[in-house]
Amino acid sequence: MKYSDLADKTIAELEAMLKEKKTELFTLKIKKQMMQLQNTSELNVAKKDIARINTAISVAK
């Protein structure tokens, strides 16, 4: 996901995406704790996506 993909979305869409990404991050953390996560770089990708969405929300307001 790139910032340019997020720039044209509305705040409601961004907040929905943020909620979805946070639940994804939660499930990834649980999988990591249960030793079921094969690719641990997914955690960093999810965190960066959340940061990008938060930036887009703050710029849009």
pTM over 0.85: yes
> What CA–CA distance (Å, rounded) separates 18 from 23?
9
Strand intervals (E) in 1-61: none
pLDDT score recorded for residue 29 = 96
pLDDT of residue 10: 92
Task: Identify the pLDDT of residue 33.
Answer: 95
Q: First-to-last CA distance in the chain?
A: 21
Map out the domains of the chain with their CATH numbers. 3-60 (1.10.287)
Distances 47 to 9, 17, 20, 51 between C-alpha atoms, Å: 20, 13, 12, 6
What digits encode the pLDDT tens for the residues 1-49? 888 888 889 999 999 999 999 999 999 999 999 999 999 999 999 999 9
* Interhelix angle 41-60/11-33, nearest 10 degrees: 160
Per-residue model confidence (pLDDT) at position 7: 86
